[in-house]
Chains A and B, each alone.
Chain A
Amino acid sequence: MTKPAGDTFARRLIACLDVRAGRVVKGVNFEGLRDAGDPAALAARYDAEGIDELVVLDITATAEDRLALTRTVSAVSANVFIPLAVGGGIRSVEDAARVIEAGADKVGVNTAALGDPSLVSRIADRFGSQAVIVAIDAKRDGDRFTVCSHAGRTATRRDAVGWAREAESRGAGEILLTSIDADGTLRGFDCALTAAVSDAVGIPVIASGGAGSADHFVEVFTAGRADAALAATIFHDGTCSVRAVKDALRRHGLPVRL
């Protein structure tokens, strides 16, 4: 976004906890999972390090894990006083209500919203637009970006820019935009994808996928025109601290919350 004079609005950093059966895991290009720790302990660590927001993403779909998710959300939110978004397998207003009751401030919808876009407005009507994030997983196809469903496995006929616009018109409060091509590669965000979607909508866009260094965040907030940026691997591995990213942003004149 353009930077007005006297701008103090912080560029927002979000840590993502991909959770399976109560544990944080991380994969490469949406596959090849490995254990990365206890969700509540990691959440508390990122909070202490100055992360601005947390996302808990449930990456499995079994009934047992679904029950574990609400326990994980309760545990994560118990001692953390920053915004918490929860996504993964949210198929109904009731699913959304369950994680919000467990302590989530926002819910992310993805595959189910592609199948039935009215889900976005139904959750927004019940909990407000600020509680609805539409998560878009996009894959490059020439100079276009194809939306994929089912954790990136299934290509849809939708284009990321068009779907983001529709999500906004249906009441989404934010877009969480993940580049499937960049995810887990540590080679940087897809700034072209992020800018295309960010320019097309009036709601905040969270860029995700590919963060490997502090400079990558500077790029996505400038060239990519992101409103927020999300990462998992580099924060989990300690490759790059939250503070190091914020220091880099500040050096480039971008406001951050310290």
Chain B
Amino acid sequence: MIALVDYGAGNLASVRKALRACGADVFEPAGPADLDCASAIVLPGVGHFAATASLDERWRAAIRQRLEGGIPFLGICLGMQWLFEGSDEATAVPGLGWLPGRITRLPDRAPGGGRLKVPHAGWNAVRATGPSGVPGLKDGAYFYFTHAYAAPVTDATAATTVYGVPFASAVRRGHVRGVQFHPEKSGAEGLALLGAFVGGGR
């Protein structure tokens, strides 16, 4: 059973629908204790980083404990950003700190001087990078993004995307994965990524 954590940040219904389309058994834990019976955790999210403040100390402790135990984890958009130390979007709200680095705002100018619309809203290509990719993520495939803040490229980066500058569009450290884009809204490529997660792909 995949625990789909509801903390009031948006795209729960569409993620649930997409996971079920991939054949997953999905439940929404009523509280942190319910994570005990999960075989995997998906942390969705869209919108403002401040929404992750709903993941209080009890949630943080329970998720951290399961991550230390090796449970497969997938963070989507805000759910991925929350893995980092924090975000410039809501400086008073700490991230989990599982991955080093901070989330920063996308630039509104490309290095060449061209203007960039922020949010980065639409489809963009991902480039797989680093030693361990994210299962189901095809190099060069297009995914749907909608975000104004992004994660830095570090040694946890599994894929990069360029919007003016390169940012981490996917991260992976062992069983812990995150994607900045929305696989639940990325057609067949998105379902392939979720399907690989549901199927326990490593």
> Which of B48, B119, B121, B125 has the largest count of A CB atoms less than 10 A from its CB?
B121
What residues on B are CB-neighbors of A6 within 8 Å? 162
Q: Does B122 contact A (CB under 8 A)?
A: yes
Q: Does A103 contact B (CB under 8 A)?
A: yes
Contact A4 B110 (CB under 8 A): yes
With A4-B111, A81-B191, A202-B108 as contacts: A105 and B121 at CB distance below 8 Å: no
Q: Interface residue count for A (Cβ, 8 Å)?
A: 37
- 1-43 of chain A: CB within 8 A of chain B: 1-10, 12
What residues on B are CB-neighbors of A8 within 8 Å? 124-125, 161-162
Contact A130 B46 (CB under 8 A): yes
Contact A81 B184 (CB under 8 A): yes
Q: Does B164 contact A (CB under 8 A)?
A: yes
Contact B112 A5 (CB under 8 A): yes
- Contact among A9, A10, A81, A128 with B185 in the assembled complex (CB-CB below 8 Å): A81
What residues on A are CB-neighbors of B115 within 8 Å? 1-2
What residues on A are CB-neighbors of B114 within 8 Å? 1-4
Q: Does B1 contact A (CB under 8 A)?
A: no
Complex-state Cα separation, A173 to B47, whole angstroms: 11
Q: How far is the CB of A108 from chain B (nearest CB, A)?
A: 14
Complex-state Cα separation, A205 to B14, whole angstroms: 25
With A4-B111, A8-B125, A128-B46 as contacts: A81 and B187 at CB distance below 8 Å: yes
What residues on A are CB-neighbors of B121 within 8 Å? 130, 173-174, 204, 227
Chain B facing A: main interface SS? mixed
What residues on A are CB-neighbors of B14 within 8 Å? 77, 103, 105
Q: Does A197 contact B (CB under 8 A)?
A: no
Contact A203 B185 (CB under 8 A): no
What residues on B are CB-neighbors of A7 within 8 Å? 162
Contact mask for chain B residues 124-150; partner A; CB cutoff 8 A; 1 contact, 0 none: 110000000000000000101011100
With A103-B14, A128-B47 as contacts: A82 and B144 at CB distance below 8 Å: yes
What residues on B are CB-neighbors of A178 within 8 Å? none
Q: Does B186 contact A (CB under 8 A)?
A: yes
Interface residue range, chain B: 35 or more
Complex-state Cα separation, A99 to B46, whole angstroms: 17
Complex-state Cα separation, A9 to B125, whole angstroms: 7
What residues on B are CB-neighbors of A202 within 8 Å? 108, 117-118
Complex-state Cα separation, A3 to B162, whole angstroms: 12
Q: How far is the CB of B79 from chain A (nearest CB, A)?
A: 14
Complex-state Cα separation, A128 to B9, whole angstroms: 9
- 182-214 of chain A: CB within 8 A of chain B: 202-205
Q: How far is the CB of B38 from chain A (nearest CB, A)?
A: 24
What residues on B are CB-neighbors of A78 within 8 Å? 17
Complex-state Cα separation, A203 to B119, whole angstroms: 6
Complex-state Cα separation, A22 to B163, whole angstroms: 39
> Which of B51, B108, B142 has the largest count of A CB atoms less than 10 A from its CB?
B142
- Contact among A3, A4, A52 with B122 in the assembled complex (CB-CB below 8 Å): A52
Apart from the given pairs A129-B47, A255-B125, 8 other A-B contacts in the complex at a CB distance below 8 Å: A3-B114, A10-B122, A52-B144, A81-B184, A130-B146, A173-B121, A205-B117, A228-B122
